[in-house]
Amino acid sequence: MPHDGDDFVKPPPDPVLRVKVLESLLIEKGLVDPTAMDALIDQYETKVGPRNGARVVAKAWVDGSFLEKIKIDCSAEIFDVFGFQGRQGEHIIAVENTSNVHNVVVCTLCSCYPWTVLGLPPVWYKSAPYRSRVVEDPRGVLREFGTEIPEDREIRIWDSTSEMRYLVIPERPIGTDGWSEEQLSQLVTRDSMIGVGLVKNPVDFAVS
């Protein structure tokens, strides 16, 4: 393809605009039903979302046999227990953080992500810098998220594919003995289930 002087390096038009144009084309050609599209977006942005994952983590913290099962086949187990299922929800396994290992999830090739438990992937997850840098320099990338992992702790990177997706089970914070699953789930952030963040500090949550 010939280069066209300086025009060649012009940034592409606003992605939002491009998406709108694509969407109107698809609707105009009768390829998608706009109501179905709105329902799908709403489903993953607001209803599914990371709250599902937080409930899975909270249950894993209180129920050791559930934890063992989701480490083998998370998709099957969360369907049995919570009824969670849906697109991009197949072949999920849980990876558990311990005092020796901190797990981080990426998709180096594109943007594979466990929608059923985390909702739609954040923009940075799909970005080229995250996808390449987290593999080369995990500690540096985590530091940019404000997450410091002790030097003596191994960082394990899990590369997602359409064949296998991962859900990080963060460590249960101390000081949460006797908390209900509902209370525990409030501590679990989306980023802690990707591995770039940690759970919230229980001290900030008054338990009534």
For Fe ion, the binding residues (CB under 5 A) are 107, 109-110, 112
Burial zone of 104 (CB within 10 Å; 0-12 exposed, 13-18 middle, 19+ buried): buried
Distance of CA 198 to the CA centre of its chain: 13
Given the residues 24, 74, 75, 107, select the one marked as catalytic: 107
Cβ at position 101, least distance to Fe ion in Å: 23
User: Catalytic annotation on 110?
Assistant: yes
| CA neighbours closer than 13 Å in the CB half-sphere of residue 99 | 2
Cβ at position 159, least distance to Fe ion in Å: 9
Instruction: Please give the Cα distance from 95 to 159 (Å, whole number).
Output: 12
Cβ at position 79, least distance to Fe ion in Å: 22
Instruction: Please give the Cα distance from 115 to 124 (Å, whole number).
Output: 16
Task: Select 94 or 107, whichever has its Cβ closest to Fe ion.
Answer: 107
Q: Which amino acid is at 193?
A: M
Number of H helices, E strands in the chain: 10, 4
Cβ at position 163, least distance to Fe ion in Å: 10
User: Catalytic annotation on 74?
Assistant: no
Task: Select 67 or 95, whichever has its Cβ closest to Fe ion.
Answer: 95
Task: Select 60 or 112, whichever has its Cβ closest to Fe ion.
Answer: 112
Task: Select 121 or 202, whichever has its Cβ closest to Fe ion.
Answer: 121
Given the residues 24, 110, 162, 180, select the one marked as catalytic: 110
Active-site residue set: 107, 110-112
